[in-house]
Amino acid sequence: MKLLLINIILFTNIFAIEYGQLFFQGNCITCHNIHEKKSAPSISEIRENYIRAFPKEEDFVNYLATWVLKPSKKMSIMQHSIDEFELMPELAYDEYTLKEIAKYIYKTDFSKLPQ
């Protein structure tokens, strides 16, 4: 019984990470390159700014997911990016998916990833 429970927990965690990664790569990456700034800031730059502002995973995930759900200039922690690229458009994602994406961003050290 104990083993079954551990397996369920493990499986759920692995699934959650892959779910976030899948959605990030299918969608966010079209504008947010890993390292290079193109039509939007790179995801490495965004992660650095967010980790600095929210070192704890829970705060990071909540703030990022809430912001992406409804991007606003007032709540942005990267004002310079809005001046450079204009405000990010609203995407049709639910909060659950955005939190999974945010967890993936928190956990991934993009500086170690190739292009």
Sequence-distant (6+) residues with CB within 8 A of 115 are 33, 34, 35, 36
Mask: binding to ligand HEC, 20-39, rule CB under 6 A, as x and -?
-------xx-xxx-------
Pick one of 42, 54, 76, 110: the residue that binds ligand HEC (CB under 6 A): 76
Long-range contacts of 61-65 (CB under 8 A, 24+ apart): 61/99, 61/102, 61/103, 61/106, 62/99, 64/98, 64/102, 64/105, 65/95, 65/98, 65/99, 65/101, 65/102
The Cα–Cα gap between 23 and 105 comes to 11
Closer CB to ligand HEC, residue 2 or residue 92? 92
Residue at 113: amino acid letter? L
Least distance in angstroms from the C-beta of 33 to ligand HEC: 11
89 is a contact residue toward ligand HEC (CB under 6 A): yes
| 87 binds ligand HEC, rule: CB under 6 A | yes
Footprint on residues 32-71 left by ligand HEC (CB under 6 A): 32, 40-41, 46, 64, 67-68, 71
Interaction site with ligand HEC (CB under 6 A): 27-28, 30-32, 40-41, 46, 64, 67-68, 71, 76-78, 81-82, 85, 87-89, 91, 93, 101
